[in-house]
Structure 1
């Protein structure tokens, strides 16, 4: 039973997305507290499913596939909602969110390509990738909460952390590309033109 819990938490994270969207657009205190709570639960399940899968040997192909998908769906949805709310200057929101989403697409494609070459371990998640994800989650929580926190502007703190997360996003992407570069440039690799 406990071996199935990580997959349950991953699926739960995806099921929370439409609830999060509805609460975000509800506005007022519902958005501030309920939407923030839902995103916090999603962030906790992101950590918990990986921990439980490793701790109780519940790592499965399904979970390995779905976990990063669930993360990206939740984070990208939250970023799009925040950008559409107009609470961050539009040009800044556009740049930051384009960088973050662009990186996610690039690294996902890179990992898929490296898996085809049998070299997936070269682009396994690094400590920087984990730090980036944590910073990103905290910044989104602050931006959704949007109210002052300990006398500080939650929105401004969230924007600063989102800028930091975007910088870490680029840094980690460069690290993954450098690790994969010899394989990407190797001669004799057959390219699939259909994809």
Structure 2
């Protein structure tokens, strides 16, 4: 296992730790949970940078990295929902998109289809989510309204990824059409 993949696995391990800290009764639990979230973000940037710079991109890494990101995002949204920081509607739309992305990515990966590398839209979406998560975690006004804006942007980003996926796998699409 190379360093970028180990960092992705580390991010997956951070998910239950984040949840345990967020829901603990420790006096500064929100601040510590936030620091865990920031650590996850830093390791996400680091593993991508290291993988590309040192040519350590692997097939398993292409699956682990987005999976680690999605699991942490889902955990954060779940913690916000259960602590009444966001509405069930915002959480439901968020969950629908992220779970659909995980399932579709796994489905196509195991069918041997090429995956779309991260692009600027995905990176901007992630940064925007982290900004909104900060607002919601510390109950900064308009956090949920901003969350809705980023969710809409994330659906646009998903549409871009889907169109790139279809173009990348055009030969497969033509063979599967009767």
TM over 0.5: yes
Contact 2:67 2:102 in 1 (8 A): no
Q: Which residue of 1 aligns with 2:145?
A: 160
Q: Which residue of 1 aligns with 2:100?
A: 106
Contact 2:125 2:153 in 1 (8 A): yes
Q: Is 1:172 aligned with 2:166?
A: no
Q: What does the per-residue CA deviation read over 1:89-119, in whole Å, with 9 as the maximum and x for residues that have no partner? A: xxxx32322222222233344445655474x
Q: Which residue of 2 aligns with 1:30?
A: 28
Q: Is 1:15 aligned with 2:2?
A: no
Offset of residue 180 of structure 1: 4.8
In structure 1, what is the Cα distance between the partners aligned to 2:173 and 2:88?
35
Q: Which residue of 1 aligns with 2:124?
A: 131
Greater C-alpha radius of gyration: 1
Change in CA separation of 1:111 and 1:8 when aligned onto 2, cut-off 3 Å: closer
In structure 2, what is the Cα distance between the partners aligned to 1:97 and 1:103?
10
Uncovered stretches (5+) of structure 1, i.e. residues with no partner: 147-153
Counterpart of 2:43 (choices 42, 45, 60) is 45
Change in CA separation of 1:9 and 1:187 when aligned onto 2, cut-off 3 Å: closer
Q: What TM-score comes out, normalization by structure 1 length?
A: 0.74
Change in CA separation of 1:102 and 1:86 when aligned onto 2, cut-off 3 Å: same
RMSD: 2.9
Q: Which residue of 2 aligns with 1:63?
A: 61
My pick for the range that moved more, 100-109 or 38-47, is 100-109
Uncovered stretches (5+) of structure 2, i.e. residues with no partner: none
Contact 2:77 2:91 in 1 (8 A): yes
Structure 1 outlier segments of 4+, above 6 Å: none
In structure 2, what is the Cα distance between the partners aligned to 1:80 and 1:143?
12
Q: Which residue of 2 aligns with 1:84?
A: 82
Offset of residue 47 of structure 1: 1.0
Q: Number of residue pairs matched?
A: 175
Secondary structure (helix, strand or coil) at the match of 1:26 reads coil
Offset of residue 14 of structure 1: 1.4
In structure 2, what is the Cα distance between the partners aligned to 1:145 and 1:29?
14
